[in-house]
Amino acid sequence: MKSVIKDVKIEEGEELKGRILNIHAKTGSFKTPTKAPTSTELNAKKNIGFDDPFLNPIFEITQRFSPGSISNFYKTNGYHSRKIGEINAHADTLINRNLVKYFPQFRKDTILNDDDMLSLVDVQLESNINVISLPELKEDASLIEFKNNLERYWKYCESEKPEAILMPYLNLSQDPDLFREKLNYLADYEGSLQAIGIKFASPNTYRPNLRALASFSDKEFWVHCSSIKRANWNSSIPSSQLHILQKFGVDTVSIEIPMAMGDGNNAKDKPILKTKYFNNDKITIPSIEESIHDGNLICNCPICRQRNFNELTEDLKRYQGNRSINAILNDFSKIHEVYAATSEFEISRQRIKEGDLNKYFKEKEGLKDYVSAEENQTSLNSFSN
């Protein structure tokens, strides 16, 4: 079958030292680790009239569901087609040149019944999506439930949309034994199933599961993690959580739709110099003032272009409408982060190639806590070709 992904090859890698995957897709080959921009980030571009494209090979269209609202798909007239319309508003312009995936975001205590699951799959099959996400039924679904869900929908998706690939998701927030059993089960499908999704949860709490994922990284699957929080906002200088996972064999990453006020960036009337802004020297998300030198932004990405911050703020005011200037700067900051984080992955990819990812982690304030004594061992498995 002429699937959208022809093959997935490990080009370079070592357990807990990151890996480089070569994903040979019909839409073009690319290497990992890298970032997939989301519909939230595409909307930010629209909000402030920024036309330059994101050049990433994969995009994720995210839709957030409040408790119970997934049932609207089969209980409310017009809902299903409205959701398809929202997806295709982004997907139609991307589908010929990119891998386009979908991620339904809902609370972790959500239990999906048969109708919910079928609706979430159908909305993707009927939209311009070529990587179909299959969520887990519930937080601690048993291995049997997991298997049945996968087998059922794998067959269904193959018959309905043979060119698309299926990405079954594993919740990072689950019992470590269960997580490992599910990974082992998926390992048997190496070569036929090409992609695995991970639903993000705290890398500190669920470290055993990340460790299991790292030991799985000699397997040739494309591993994508969705719903990553931009940062751990509890720390005084929030570190970018997006960049932690590459060490554990996660190839591509995308950020969750922030809850209102949830990304620490939306408070009205906050001094604009306190806008959170990704700093790639540190891999943290401190106030933008730390990335301004002599009045100019130090970043040279397509939206920052080392511009004078005051002039930039004045310039952005014309898109303000009835939104606060903080919200506008927040959109600006998200767009910067897509470019800057993607470029930063090009740097870390080079460091993986040099077998140097741990040294890279040690150099970065936001990553150094994720180097443990374990990583200083010399007897780790190399699985590079």
Interface residues toward Zn ion, by CB under 5 A: 299, 301, 304, 336, 340
348, 243 contact by CB (below 8 A): yes
Other Cβ atoms closer than 10 A to 380: 13
Choice between 248 and 332, CB closer to Zn ion: 332
Taking the complex as a whole, the smallest distance from the CB of residue 39 to Zn ion amounts, in Å, to 20
Contacts of 153 (CB under 8 A, 6+ apart): 117, 121, 134, 166
Taking the complex as a whole, the smallest distance from the CB of residue 94 to Zn ion amounts, in Å, to 22
State how far the alpha carbon of 185 is from the alpha carbons of 132, 153, 194, in Å.
Answer: 20, 16, 14
Choice between 214 and 285, CB closer to Zn ion: 285
Taking the complex as a whole, the smallest distance from the CB of residue 288 to Zn ion amounts, in Å, to 10
167, 134 contact by CB (below 8 A): yes
Query: DSSP assignment, residue 333?
Result: H
Taking the complex as a whole, the smallest distance from the CB of residue 303 to Zn ion amounts, in Å, to 6
Other Cβ atoms closer than 10 A to 343: 14
Taking the complex as a whole, the smallest distance from the CB of residue 296 to Zn ion amounts, in Å, to 12
Count, in order, helices (H) and strands (E) of the chain: 10, 13
Taking the complex as a whole, the smallest distance from the CB of residue 176 to Zn ion amounts, in Å, to 38
Query: DSSP assignment, residue 324?
Result: -
Taking the complex as a whole, the smallest distance from the CB of residue 307 to Zn ion amounts, in Å, to 9
Backbone angles phi, psi at 232, to 5 degrees: -90, 100
226, 257 contact by CB (below 8 A): no
Choice between 32 and 333, CB closer to Zn ion: 333
- Residue 115, token pair as written in the block: 């109708």
Maximum separation of any 2 CA atoms in the chain, in Å = 60
Choice between 174 and 240, CB closer to Zn ion: 240
Choice between 52 and 115, CB closer to Zn ion: 52
Write the single-letter amino acid at 229: K
Choice between 93 and 296, CB closer to Zn ion: 296
Q: Is the dihedral of CA 145, 148, 152, 157 positive or negative?
A: positive
Taking the complex as a whole, the smallest distance from the CB of residue 244 to Zn ion amounts, in Å, to 21
Closest CA to 92 of 39, 56, 52: 39
Choice between 218 and 331, CB closer to Zn ion: 331
Rounded CA gap, 363 and 341, in Å? 16
Choice between 230 and 336, CB closer to Zn ion: 336
What Rg value do the Cα atoms of the chain yield, rounded? 20
Please classify residue 331 by burial: count the beta carbons closer than 10 Å to its beta carbon, then call 0-12 exposed, 13-18 middle and 19+ buried.
buried
Taking the complex as a whole, the smallest distance from the CB of residue 278 to Zn ion amounts, in Å, to 8
Choice between 59 and 277, CB closer to Zn ion: 277
